[in-house]
């Protein structure tokens, strides 16, 4: 549990207020949940459907793509990470 707490706490050192810290933590949680859902989809497809290499690559790319807001928070680009989190589902479709 402490590993997840460390990941979700990435970037809060750049926050100036308590509400901004909560927003950064929420952004990190949402990124982790969406990335985990993509990985669970990959695991579920393995059991019930024959997997193609293209499907595996697409789902792994999606999982890494949804982890980018955490990296942006780590670098201090908190506003960019929030914008990417809002637009990520649409961008991932393309």
The pLDDT of residue 25 is 92
Q: Convert the pLDDT of each residue in 44-93 to its tens digit.
A: 888 887 778 888 888 888 888 889 999 999 999 999 999 998 888 887 77
How far, in whole angstroms, is CA 94 from its chain's centroid?
A: 17
The pLDDT of residue 46 is 81
Residue 68 near residue 34 (C-beta atoms within 8 A): no
Does the pLDDT of residue 1 top 80, yes or no?
A: no
- Sorted by where each begins, the domain ranges of the chain are 24-93
What lies within 8 Å, CB to CB, of 1 at 6+ separation is none
């Amino acid at each position: 549990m402490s590993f997840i707490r460390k990941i979700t706490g990435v970037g809060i050192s750049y926050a100036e207020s308590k509400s901004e810290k909560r927003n950064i933590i929420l952004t990190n949680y949402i990124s982790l949940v969406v990335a985990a859902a993509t990985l669970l989809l990959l695991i579920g497809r393995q059991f019930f459907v024959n997997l193609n290499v293209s499907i595996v690559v697409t789902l792994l790319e999606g999982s890494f793509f949804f982890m980018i807001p955490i990296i942006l928070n780590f670098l201090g680009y908190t506003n960019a990470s929030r914008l990417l989190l809002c637009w990520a589902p649409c961008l991932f479709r393309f």
